[in-house]
Amino acid sequence: MDFLTLTARDGATVRICHQGAHVCSWIPAQGTEQLFLSKRTEFREGVAIRGGVPVIFPQFAGLGTLPKHGFARTAPWSLVQQGHTDDGAAQAVFRLKENIARLTIWPYVFTAELAVSVVDNLLQIALSISNTGDTSFHFTSALHTYLAVDNVHQARLRGLQGTYYRDSLTGTDRCHESAELLQITDETDRIYANVPDQLCLQQAHQHLHINTTGFADAVIWNPGPAGAVKLSDMEDDGYLRMLCVEAATIMRPITLAPGESWSGSQSFMVSKL
């Protein structure tokens, strides 16, 4: 597997796998690892990486006729730009386009770009999709971010109170979130609709501020102990050390006419306590 490591001038780093333009590691300057990566992930061509930030496109989960989560996360992306900004941030842009194999399962012409930037205690990931063909298409998408936690039962997520979600475990829609601080106690798989653009994952030692643009939804996922043992590429206790907080556009798929583009981003800022 080919990887690119970006290092900001202040020492912050991010590691990206060319397969999927998959962010596998983020360590802020003078900080610790902020992304969960399973010790059992295979790093094998065509196999999804368990952890980090998988790019989900053009289909979320099984909500369509494509393989689960679409093809972008297991496709080879091309590095088209790399360098530093004036403020010392390290950045890179990866690109994915249609090819004959992808056209056989999703017959549309497109360009996807993922831009990654890291500096100090900040990580920014932006996804853009352009319709470069002559036929309209629609898609669902997500940045399937696995955040590292010391203990998921002790972490709290602020910002979802008052929103509504689909419980993917039961198939129940329009569930109301009443908790000011969401606590994970067991297997959780929810799609929150029309979420605020700012969330905060709170732990005893730090707060992780999560900002999104362009993505209307958020997916909150943890397999719990029973779900984790069913995942061959996750250690049995891995669920304790991760929480997926995913920027997503699912409830209302994005439609692009020929020549149109869409973009969305998710950024993270660490504040130590």
CATH at residue 256 = 2.70.98.10
Q: What is the pLDDT of residue 81?
A: 98
| pLDDT tens profile 150-178 | 999 999 999 999 999 999 999 999 999 99
Number of structural domains in the chain:
1
| pLDDT tens profile 163-216 | 999 999 999 999 999 999 999 999 999 999 999 999 999 999 999 999 999 999
Selected catalytic residue, list 22, 69, 113, 246? 246
- Which are the contacts of 63, defined by CB distance < 8 A and separation ≥ 6? 140, 250
Q: Write out the residue range of the structural domain in which residue 61 sits.
A: 3-272
Provide the edge-to-edge strand list for the sheet that holds 198-202.
78-84, 90-97, 110-119, 122-131, 261-272, 206-213, 198-202, 156-158, 181-182
Q: How many CA atoms within 13 Å lie on the side-chain side of 238?
A: 25
| pLDDT tens profile 67-102 | 999 999 999 999 999 999 999 999 999 999 999 999
* Active-site annotation holds for 246: yes
Q: What is the pLDDT of residue 200?
A: 98
Selected catalytic residue, list 144, 176, 187, 260? 144
Q: What is the pLDDT of residue 201?
A: 98
Q: Are 78 and 268 in contact (CB under 8 A)?
A: no
Q: How confident is the model at residue 113 (pLDDT cuts 50, 70, 90)?
A: very high
Q: What is the DSSP secondary structure assignment for residue 53, as one 8-state letter? A: B
| pLDDT tens profile 125-142 | 999 999 999 999 999 999
Q: Are 206 and 32 in contact (CB under 8 A)?
A: no
**Reduced to 3 states, what is the DSSP secondary structure of residue 225?**
helix
Mean pLDDT of the chain, nearest integer: 98
Q: Which of 239, 236, 217, 230 is nearest to 155 (CA)?
A: 239
d(CA 154, CA 17): 31
Percent of the chain with pLDDT over 90: 100
* Active-site annotation holds for 42: no
